[in-house]
Structure formats: structure tokens, C-alpha cells
Amino acid sequence: MAMNIKIIGIGDEGQASLLSLYKKWIDESEVLIGGERQLSFFPDYSGEKIAIKGSLSSLAERLQKDVRRAVVLASGDPLFYGIGSYLSKKMQVEIYPYLSSIQLAFARMKESWQNAYFTSVHGRSMTGLAQRIDGRDLVAILTDEKNSPLRIAQYLRSFQMNEYKAFVAENLGGINERSGWYELQEMEEIDFSPLNVVILKRVKSSPEWAMGIADDQFSQRKPDKGLITKKEVRVLSLCEMNLKKDSIVWDIGTCTGSMAIEAARIAREGAVYAIEKNEHDLVNCYENMKKFRTDFVVRHGLAPDGLEDFSDPDTVFIGGTAGGMDEILDACCSRLKPEGRIVLNAVTIESLSKGTEAFKARGFDVSITLAQISRSKPILKLTRFDALNPIYIITAKRKEENE
């Protein structure tokens, strides 16, 4: 069985950032593990060096079998988007943090950071960043060579998020350290070091939208407007979807993207996947995504084709099936997470009947809301009501959830 493993945080200044006790532990160890940059700080190490490459699971398996004294080097604080949290769940470890790059960056900014929102695009997709940070006053972002300050500036500007000014801190603690404030447009013209932290500070007001965005705020198909889930039905459907902040959502038949956009603004830490068969409707969807600062995966296709590329959902919204209801429900019901929900909007009693029976045949409990909405409309100096098409909101949950 593996001995206790020490995970030691180290700064860009190398051995100079370590306490003498930590250096002693490293000298006494038989295996030194870390990134190539961290290992290069110890050219005279006498034991075996192992560079971290590939999956962390294979590293954990190796360490669990190794009985030698081992030290794992990590950049900054091993528990801040670092290796420490993963290894501590797999084995007995002792963690000795150094200052995180975020701490150092805020120190260079000379501003407090307890109210900041932290996120990372280091080694991960930038998809979803827009809704995660929209409206936040202070945002700290860990970057990498691909998702660089230049790329972040281009991304933010594409969503008109020009209310932010950026502080970029490079090579923190090293001899080539540099930090300063930049306008987003300036960031696109500067060659930054790959080792950097970006902090965004909101310096101007920004638009805000509550749940239930007005229909006329969305770009829609012209001249025949109306192919949109109406605001009142949208809000009722979103409530039935029971979204959490980290929900994985599918929107089948997204059209203008109204449901996907509202879902993404609620499930900010999750992910939204949308599919639409009409390519010209996707033009409006992309335009709406930019306007309402939501970034999610959109596919042009006819479901269920294309759903295999989506992550398993917590919630599915089906706005239309284009005649392929059975195949779509097969895919959705089989992939839905155990306590998930499927919400289907039906316009006709035939679709209501078919959808209800199809869910029951697949082992789901069904509840139905009939939404009959009328909106006021002025007529001379009086007011009358215009009725919207009645909509059946079908909510399906696995029977186990109710037992």
C-alpha cells in the first residue's frame, strides 16, 4: 500500500518559493512527480522523476501501488483547480499549498478578492463562459495557451460584453513578471506570456433580463413571426423542467433558441445542447444567443440524429418532433438521468394523446398542464383580450422518483 504522499505547491520562482522543510522532504523522497516545468526546478534531484502526462486516473493508480516516498509538485495552491482535490479523494495525502496565481494577481491589482467569481478555461472549452460571467462585477479566469487573453477578449467582444476592463498578470513570481490593465480591444493586439491570469472588472452597467423575456425581443423568422415558445408558456415549461444551476439541458427543435437561452441563463454552471432541423432558423438562434449572452452547443439536424454527441441530460425540452416522436422519445428516455424530467409541448390533442401514451409505455409518470393564455389588447379607448393557441405542457418523470 502506498505511503502518505506529500503534495507541495510551488511558485514560478522555483525552489526559492519553498520553505526549507519542504526542500528537505523533497530531498528525502524517492519519487518526484509534477509537470515538466515544476520538475525542471530540481535538476540535481537524485530520485526518480515522473512527469505528469495523460490522465490523472493512471497517475493515481500508479501512486496507489508504489510504496516509495513520493512528493507531488503542483503549481500554486494544489486545491485551487489543481491536482490536490483529485488525489485526496483517491488516497491518503498531505497538502502544503503555496500562494495561488489568483492570490498573487489580486495582490498586484491591490484589490480584495473575496467577492470575485472564479472560473477556469485552462485545458477546457470556453463554451458557456458568457452566461457564467454575465452580470458579475469581478471575475478571475485561469487561462492556457489556447484560451489566451487575446482569445478571451475576442470572445467577450463577440457577446458585446464591453463593460469589462481586464487586468492581466503574467509570470507571477518569476523574473519576467508583468501585470497591467487593458481595454478588451487592447488585449487583442498584445502578445502575452502563456503563464497568465485574467481578471475582469465591470466598469460600466450591462443589460439584464429576468426569466420570461418578451417575445418581441427575440429575432424571429420573417415575415411569418410566431414560431417561438410564447413567454407565458416558456415560463411554465421552465418551471416544469426543474432546472438547477448545473443542469445539463437538451432543447429539441430550438428554432429561435428562446427556451435554450432562458435555460442557459438559469443553468449557468451546467450546459445546454440544442438541435434544429431548419437551417435558416439557426441564423436567428445564433443572433439571439449573442444578444442574450448565452453560449451553448447548437446542431443543425433532425433529431434523434445528432443527439448521440450530447452529454446525458438532467432535463429535456421538446418543442417539436417533426413526426418522429417515438424515435426521439426512445433516445431521450434512455439517456435521461435517473431523477431527470422531460417536458414536451403539444399543440394538438393527437400529439397530447400520443405523447402521453408513449411516455407511459416507457415507464414514466405523466402530468399535464393546459395553458390557455390571453393577452390584453387595446381597442379604441377600451381593452379586449386576444387568445393564444392553447398548449399542452406534458411533464414526464421516471416512476421511481415518485415511489
Question: Which residues does 345 contact at the CB level (< 8 Å), separation at least 6?
Answer: 229, 233, 237, 317, 318, 319, 320, 391, 392, 393, 394
- What's 183's domain CATH number? 3.30.950.10
- Domain CATH number, residue 28: 3.40.1010.10
In a domain, 131, yes or no: yes
User: Does a structural domain hold residue 208?
Assistant: no
**What is the CATH classification number for the domain harbouring 264?**
3.40.50.150
DSSP state of 298: E
Own/partner contacts of 380-388, CB < 8 Å, gap of 24 or more, are 388/230, 388/232, 388/233
The verdict on 262 and 296 lying in the same domain is yes
State which of 134, 167, 202 marks the end of a domain.
202
Would 128 be classed as within a structural domain? Answer: yes
Burial of residue 130 (CB within 10 Å: 0-12, 13-18, 19+) is buried
- The span from the CA of 123 to the CA of 52, in Å, is 14
In a domain, 207, yes or no: no
Same domain? For 184 and 282 the reply is: no
249 and 358 part of one domain: yes
Residues 157 and 249 in one domain: no
Whether 337 maps to a domain, the answer reads: yes
Domain boundary at 68, 98, 128, which? 98
Residue 209 lies in a domain: no
Q: What is the pTM of this model?
A: 0.88
Q: Is there a single domain that holds both residue 163 and residue 48?
A: no
| Cα atoms in the 13 Å half-sphere on the side-chain side of 257 | 31
Same domain, 322 and 389: yes
Which residues of the chain fall below pLDDT 50? 1, 402-403
Do 225 and 257 belong to one domain? yes
Q: What is the pLDDT of residues 36-74, one digit of tens each?
A: 999 999 999 999 999 998 788 888 888 888 888 999 999
pLDDT given for residue 102 in this prediction: 93
- For 266-287, how does the pLDDT look when each residue is reduced to its tens digit (9 = 90+)? 999 999 999 999 998 999 999 9
With contact defined as beta carbons under 8 Å apart, do 260 and 296 qualify?
yes
The domain total for the chain is 3
Answer whether residue 210 is part of any domain.
no
Whether residues 293 and 172 fall in one domain:
no
Q: 46, 69, 98 — which closes off a domain? A: 98
Same domain, 286 and 252: yes
Domain extent, residue 254, equals: 215-402
Whether 49 and 164 share a structural domain: no
pLDDT of residue 403: 46
Residue-level pLDDT at 82:
86
